[in-house]
């Protein structure tokens, strides 16, 4: 078993197979064994990472999250009782960040999430799907025109064959995941969903009611299209949205930001936002600035007034891009239709 890695696997029914192989060089992380097997494997040279105590999550998980997992029990309990909220509360406990078991658990967890995310994106690549990021603020209310536009953007991108990826939170992020999720349905399904969600415009004052409104949409329109959300417990006061079918939730926001931007090989559309979105714009611009010409990914900023007057980032972006390959893959437009047309043309998608 030299070089084999087992991650969060129940091996209690595989004792004979395990003991019939040489264990030296194998790694077991958070696995379960029948009595006596673990000691035999250790003595044979295996490295075994045990289940860490007093941790409210599986540090060695082998798959991405789903909304059903993070919001388990939301139908009959308040949000504060579901796993997502419980894990966030754990991160706020005094001193937890200085405890070795907590440091190990969060680092191993984030590594496992990145590994699972790579598996998912490899499958996307094999299916010919490029990943397009939709970045935007959390503040867009469900009954706003900004939210509706972000939802129609997600729907259009999904119809063009892209895998939609967002920061996984509320607002414009939720809207883009919603639009992608409902892309197999007729257009009036999105209209219906927007009416239902508009009755609970935001996650304040009640995350519970906000999540239950989303659950009612999911129940009415089951089996939607896949999309990706990459949120973080660093911003745990902003709950993850329920419309991303694959959720890569991290503890370390720095890793989450880098992962989110780096995985969007089809480009990124930046909707109007504030400090967080500005940070993402220039982090992406930095990667494009130093990238080889063939590795530059498109950047499309939607909302000329917002990005040229209210938060005038365009002049600095233009100065950075001057004379570099990124200049040909960077635009500021007024509408989501223009943004989708640009990405479709640049990627060769239909």
Query: What's phi and psi for 166, nearest 5 deg?
Result: -135, 180
Residue 151 and residue 13 share a domain: no
The alpha carbon of residue 66 and the mean position of all alpha carbons in its chain are separated, in whole angstroms, by 10
Is the per-residue pLDDT at 12 higher than 70? yes
Q: What pLDDT does 188 receive?
A: 97
| pLDDT at residue 349 tops 60 | no
- Nearest Cα residue to 61 out of 120, 4, 116: 116
Bridge partners, 300 (sequence order): 269, 331
Return d(Cα 200, Cα 229) in angstroms, integer.
21
CATH number of domain containing 262: 3.40.50.450
Q: Are residues 42 and 128 in the same domain?
A: no
Do 124 and 208 fall within a single domain? yes
Domains of the chain: total: 2
Give per-residue pLDDT as tens, 130-160. 999 999 989 999 999 999 999 999 999 999 9
CA distance 236 to 345: 37
Q: Where are the alpha helices (DSSP H) in the chain?
A: 15-19, 37-43, 67-70, 83-91, 100-126, 145-159, 172-181, 187-198, 207-220, 253-262, 275-290, 304-305, 314-321, 336-347
Q: What is residue 81's three-state secondary structure?
A: helix
Mean pLDDT for the stretch of residues 82-110: 87
In this model, does residue 97 exceed pLDDT 60? no
Whether residue 96 is contained in a domain is answered as no
Is the domain of 11 the same as that of 123?
no
Is 229 contained in some domain?
A: yes
What pLDDT score does 52 carry? 82
Cβ–Cβ < 8 Å for 178, 242: no
Residues 196 and 341 in one domain: yes
For the segment 39-49, the average pLDDT, to the nearest whole number, is: 96
**CA-based Rg of the chain, rounded to a whole angstrom?**
22
Q: Do residues 335 and 155 make contact, with C-beta atoms less than 8 angstroms apart? A: no
Answer yes or no: are the C-beta atoms of 232 and 250 closer than 8 Å. Answer: yes
Looking at the domain assignment, is residue 102 inside a domain? no
Is 80 part of any domain?
no
pLDDT category, 50, cuts 50, 70, 90? Answer: confident
Strand ranges of the sheet holding 267-270, from the earlier edge strand across to the other edge: 246-247, 228-229, 163-166, 131-135, 267-270, 299-302, 330-333
Structural domain ending residue among the three candidates 33, 51, 69:
51
If asked whether residues 17 and 126 sit together in one domain, one would say: no
Is 72 domain-assigned?
A: no
Query: Residue 149's domain spans which residues?
Result: 112-347
Q: What pLDDT does 307 receive?
A: 96
- Do 335 and 227 share a domain, yes or no? yes
Q: Helix or strand or coil: residue 47?
A: strand
**Same domain for 153 and 292?**
yes
Per the structure block, which two tokens stand in for 160? 């063009």
Query: Do 123 and 194 belong together in one domain?
Result: yes
Q: CA nearest 281: which of 249, 239, 321?
A: 321
Q: What is the distance between the alpha carbons of residues 153 and 335, in angstroms, rounded to a whole number?
A: 10
283 or 349: which leads in pLDDT: 283
Strands 27-29 and 5-7: parallel
Based on the fold, state whether residues 160 and 236 are members of the same structural domain. yes
């Amino acid at each position: 078993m030299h070089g084999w890695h087992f991650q969060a696997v129940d091996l209690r029914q595989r004792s004979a197979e395990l003991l019939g192989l040489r264990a030296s060089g194998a790694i077991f992380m958070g696995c379960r064994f029948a009595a006596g097997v673990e000691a035999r494997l250790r003595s044979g040279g295996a490295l075994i990472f045990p289940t860490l105590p007093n941790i409210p999550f599986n540090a060695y998980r082998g798959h991405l999250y789903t909304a059903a997992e993070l919001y388990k029990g939301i139908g009959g309990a308040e949000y504060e009782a579901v796993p997502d909220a419980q894990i966030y509360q754990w991160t706020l406990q005094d001193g937890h960040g200085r405890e070795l078991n907590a440091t190990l658990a969060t680092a191993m967890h984030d590594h496992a999430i990145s590994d699972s995310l790579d598996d998912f994106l490899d499958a996307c690549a094999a299916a010919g799907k490029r990943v397009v990021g939709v970045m935007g603020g959390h503040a867009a209310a469900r009954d706003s025109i900004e939210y509706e536009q972000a939802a129609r953007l997600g729907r259009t991108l999904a119809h063009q064959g892209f895998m939609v990826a967002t920061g996984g939170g509320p607002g414009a992020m939720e809207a883009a995941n919603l639009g992608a999720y409902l892309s197999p349905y007729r257009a009036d399904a999105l209209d219906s969903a927007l009416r239902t969600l508009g009755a609970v415009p935001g996650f304040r004052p009640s995350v519970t009611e906000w999540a239950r409104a989303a659950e009612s949409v999911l129940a009415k329109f089951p089996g939607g299209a896949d999309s990706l959300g990459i949120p973080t417990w660093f911003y745990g006061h902003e709950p993850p949205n329920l419309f991303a079918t694959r959720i890569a939730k991290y503890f370390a926001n720095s890793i989450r930001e880098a992962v989110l931007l780096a995985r969007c090989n089809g480009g990124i559309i930046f909707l109007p936002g504030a400090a967080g979105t500005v940070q993402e714009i220039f982090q992406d611009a930095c990667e494009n600035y130093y990238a080889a010409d063939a590795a530059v990914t498109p950047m499309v900023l939607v909302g000329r007034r917002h990005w040229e007057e209210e938060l005038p980032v365009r002049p600095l972006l233009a100065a950075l891009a001057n004379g570099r390959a990124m200049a040909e893959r960077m635009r500021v437009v007024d509408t989501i239709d223009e943004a989708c047309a640009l990405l479709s043309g640049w990627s060769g998608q239909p």
